[in-house]
Structure 1
Amino acid sequence: MKGAQRLTKASLLAALGVSVALSGCSQEPASGGGDGNAGGGNGPKVKLVFWSHQAEAFNDNYKKLIDSYMKAHPNVEISYQSFPYDVYNQKLKASFSAQNPPDIAEVFGTWVPEYSKNGLLSEVPGGEEAGKAYYEAPLGGFKWNGKLYGLPLEFNIENGGMLAHPKMFSDKGLAYPPKTWTELVESAKALTVRDGSGMKVKGFDFISGDNITFTFLSMILQQNGKYWGSDGHVNFQTPEAVKAMTALKDLVVRDQVTDLTAFGGQLDSSDYFFKGGAAMTYRGPWTIAAGLDNYKAKDFEYVPVPSFTDNPPSFAAESGWGLVVSKKSKASKEAWDFIQFLSSKENLKAWNLGTFTVPAKKEVAEDPEFVSKNPFMRTSVGLLPHGQWIGLIWDRDYFFKQINDHFQLMVSGKVTVENGLKAIEKAVNENQDQHK
């Protein structure tokens, strides 16, 4: 999920399917968390500056936890500021460049390596032990040379689950949900509807700016393959990569269960699903709340996507939003104490529920209460152990664009799968080298 694609508070509460009284936003933060002594009542006044991007649910939940922490630590004052997403990343870079960064910063995982490799971030106290509490995928971006420089708040999962219309299956007498990749493809072909103007209902839509890439990488992993070579280079010349990309092309060209007509448009593929334009749409769980709130959708479920093989449904994921502490901070002890307070099980569970985000911390995801309060998350939570960090990609937008652009060329027949993969590999690796 891109960082800018966040949901309104109303969407979040609708997605939870519970009243405000039961949502994470209404729960009292737990009083534990950090060492319990940093910034205690007898020491000198300590002021922390905390920055984040603007997103209503995120901001509301941060403010509640800040108030709770300051109440328990009366000589710590946390000045919290949020900024529009479109300017936040550049503002953060400028503050570090001017050597006047905030003490605590909310960062997206893909941003972190640039800061950590340049020595701008404080290490997580007891980092190795702290890291064991989190899933591998969300933690990856916060590591550098084996050291941990931040703690993730969410598991930024874009795949593994799909939106599906069960009634479309029952109307056709099809087994639901599909249990194997073959069943998925055969069901998708049966569910695809065409009229004189083209494809009216897509059987299985995976065409979006993120999911072409994520599906491709996951299909490599599900064959027990790898897509990283040596020296920070990708390797897309493997049999697994060719088979994965060929299968994706076949879904469009041979099986004709989706097309590229809406790719790059203003609406997301999930919007077309909620309008009845697809039977199955491969998309992250963040789309659920938009469907419930914007479309008042009721006739859909969020179910697992079968593995491409008989192996477990492994998938690649980026590190999502998390918190870091500036190396320049004069109150790093207090800053980390607040982050540890926020990251305690009960506080982080309330934060994940209140923001409709997937837990990055194992004990939160494994808590039955989390899924019972948010049943739409059941599919995603069950997949988390199969996630792998996507790897160190220096220019995320460029990486995804190369795969998306060449996929369109392969589908159109302008290049073969093999030549398209060679072109992607060459372009990505040249870009990776520019950042060394």
Structure 2
Amino acid sequence: MRLKKSFAVVLSFLLIMSIVTACSSSSSGGTDSGKITLVMWSHKDTGIEEADKQLVKAFEDSHPNIKIKFQNFPYDEYVNKLKASFSASNGPDLAEMFGTWVPQYTKNDLLLEVPNGDQYKNDFYEAPLGGYLKDGKVYGVPLEYNIENGSMLAYPDMFKDAGLEYPKTWDELVAAAKKLTVMDGKNIKVKGFDFTSYDSVTFLFLSMILQQGGDYWDSNGHINFHSPEAIKAMNEMVTLARDYKVADYKEMNYDLDSSDYFFKGESAMTMRGPWVIPAAETTYQVENFDYAPIPSFTSNPPSFASESGWGIVGNKKTKHKEAVLKYLEFVSQPENALAWNLVSHTVPAQKSVAQGPDFIKAAPMMETPLSVLEYGKYIGPIGDRDYMWDEINAAFIEMCENKTSVEDGLKKLETNINKMLDGQ
């Protein structure tokens, strides 16, 4: 599905309709007696900030006795501020958290349990809900399905000029990537299949393990990267980058994102999450591209690992428990979640929102990622996410540079990550 100029018009219309609906919606029951002010924290992000502000306004309009003081902070500052405030028992009443962080807070009994948790298990996809679960109970409302797998940016004209169609199997993808790669001496001028971004290396590796029917967790809660499935997956990735040169692993340390290289015309296929799509129009004025499926590594379905994305949690130490639960209930209502997803350009965590007609009408290029949401699995309690990603990326580069074998590199990688997990 191509990105149309009418996208912004359709989005604006549906957004207005969604917010109107949200404003007229009301959670069950009355409001707390007297005027209550809740403090809510989030991080600075243009789309999410605007989505939060509109959702807060809609809630306040339908709950006149509750005011929400919304505050946001730069990302790095926010991560540290959250940890410090919750540790000192003076955190905000409500906080926007990335799902990967949530287990560390539930482990220390710092978050408010959401009533009707069993219903959430039916209403939300497994992958985004996973981070908000502990012992079968739900702590917070996931709003985003953080998906980096299953889809790729692709230039149809490059395929047409090469006499190719979009690949339907992994072998076809590899063949197309090799044919579409353009070299300039020893340098790659156009990458055939660019998967060497900070996120994509990790997510492609994990998905290829799962698509073989394997797992990267062992029975003791440790990472297992010495399995035949892990070795085969990493060997394939190294071969693509080092031997076939369809991607440039040296660019992983550059400032530009892999999507930037794509929109500059320096890649035929690029694995990246749908959140990069708006940059095509806003930054690069690129229209003639597609968001196409990435075939499974095997004949099995295209399973993939996914972190739980952004969502809202309540502080267990809040003095206004009833009001906090009202807000969590409000944001979980499909019409309000839809409004948030449309403004923030995020994939819905809620099944009825993702599968409903309004979202796909507003975001037609989301058709491919929406079609694979059912195959997503919660990535698991990975602890320090940044540490794990850094280690995987560093190990991948060492393998591509022949500084270590795949088997030895994965063994070292597994040891380092498990030490981190044991120290959490």
TM-score bracket for the superposition, by shorter chain length: over 0.9
Residues 244-323 of structure 1 mapped to structure 2, 5 A cutoff: 244-323=233-312
**Kindly tell me: are residues 405 and 25 of structure 1, through their superposed partners in 2, closer, same or farther at Cα, counting changes over 3 Å?**
farther
The residue number in structure 2 matching 1:202 is 191
Of residues 279-288 and 28-37 in structure 1, the stretch that sits farther from structure 2 once superposed is 28-37
Q: Residues 39 and 46 of structure 1 are in contact (CA less than 8 Å); yes or no, is this contact kept in structure 2?
A: no
Q: Distance in 2 between matches of 1:20 and 1:307?
A: 31
Does residue 1:168 correspond to 2:158, yes or no? Answer: yes
The residue number in structure 1 matching 2:86 is 96
Q: What is the CA-CA distance between 1:71 and the residue it aligns to? A: 2.1
Amino acid aligned to 1:114: Q
The residue number in structure 2 matching 1:54 is 44
Q: What is the CA-CA distance between 1:153 and the residue it aligns to? A: 0.6
Q: Residues 181 and 309 of structure 1 are in contact (CA less than 8 Å); yes or no, is this contact kept in structure 2?
A: yes
Q: What is the CA-CA distance between 1:68 and the residue it aligns to? A: 2.2
Does residue 1:73 correspond to 2:63, yes or no? Answer: yes
Q: What is the CA-CA distance between 1:36 and the residue it aligns to? A: 2.2
Q: Distance in 2 between matches of 1:305 and 1:253?
A: 21
Q: Distance in 2 between matches of 1:224 and 1:288?
A: 31
Q: Distance in 1 between matches of 2:370 and 2:24?
A: 25
Q: Residues 52 and 106 of structure 1 are in contact (CA less than 8 Å); yes or no, is this contact kept in structure 2?
A: yes
- Percent identical residues: 50
Of residues 22-31 and 94-103 in structure 1, the stretch that sits farther from structure 2 once superposed is 22-31
Q: Distance in 2 between matches of 1:191 and 1:237?
A: 33
Amino acid aligned to 1:329: T
Q: Residues 24 and 62 of structure 2 are in contact (CA less than 8 Å); yes or no, is this contact kept in structure 1?
A: no
**Kindly tell me: are residues 65 and 253 of structure 1, through their superposed partners in 2, closer, same or farther at Cα, counting changes over 3 Å?**
closer
The residue number in structure 2 matching 1:335 is 324
Amino acid aligned to 1:85: Y
Q: What is the CA-CA distance between 1:368 and the residue it aligns to? A: 1.7
Residues 106-117 of structure 1 mapped to structure 2, 5 A cutoff: 106-117=96-107
Q: Distance in 1 between matches of 2:26 and 2:310?
A: 20
Q: Distance in 1 between matches of 2:15 and 2:40?
A: 21
Unmatched 5+ stretches in structure 1: 1-11
Select 1:345's aligned residue among 334, 346, 357.
334
Aligned residues between the structures: 421
What SS does the aligned partner of 1:132 have?
helix
The residue number in structure 1 matching 2:115 is 125
What SS does the aligned partner of 1:318 have?
strand
Of residues 183-192 and 76-85 in structure 1, the stretch that sits farther from structure 2 once superposed is 76-85
Does residue 1:28 correspond to 2:17, yes or no? Answer: no
Q: Distance in 1 between matches of 2:164 and 2:140?
A: 46
Q: Distance in 1 between matches of 2:185 and 2:263?
A: 22
1:71-118 superposed Cα distances (whole Å, 9 cap, x missing partner): 222211221111222211111122212221111111111111111111
Q: Distance in 1 between matches of 2:419 and 2:349?
A: 32
Select 1:152's aligned residue among 142, 149, 152.
142
Amino acid aligned to 1:108: F
**Kindly tell me: are residues 197 and 254 of structure 1, through their superposed partners in 2, closer, same or farther at Cα, counting changes over 3 Å?**
closer
Q: Residues 13 and 23 of structure 1 are in contact (CA less than 8 Å); yes or no, is this contact kept in structure 2?
A: no
Unmatched 5+ stretches in structure 2: none
The residue number in structure 1 matching 2:349 is 360
Amino acid aligned to 1:107: M
Q: What is the CA-CA distance between 1:259 and the residue it aligns to? A: 2.0
Q: What is the CA-CA distance between 1:20 and the residue it aligns to? A: 6.4
Amino acid aligned to 1:54: K
What SS does the aligned partner of 1:18 have?
helix
Q: Distance in 2 between matches of 1:102 and 1:51?
A: 7
Q: What is the CA-CA distance between 1:15 and the residue it aligns to? A: 9.6
- TM-score by structure 2 length? 0.95
Q: Residues 32 and 341 of structure 1 are in contact (CA less than 8 Å); yes or no, is this contact kept in structure 2?
A: no
Of residues 257-266 and 423-432 in structure 1, the stretch that sits farther from structure 2 once superposed is 257-266
- TM-score by structure 1 length? 0.93
Q: Distance in 1 between matches of 2:243 and 2:79?
A: 42
**Kindly tell me: are residues 229 and 14 of structure 1, through their superposed partners in 2, closer, same or farther at Cα, counting changes over 3 Å?**
farther
Q: What is the CA-CA distance between 1:25 and the residue it aligns to? A: 5.5
**Kindly tell me: are residues 16 and 389 of structure 1, through their superposed partners in 2, closer, same or farther at Cα, counting changes over 3 Å?**
farther
Amino acid aligned to 1:151: V
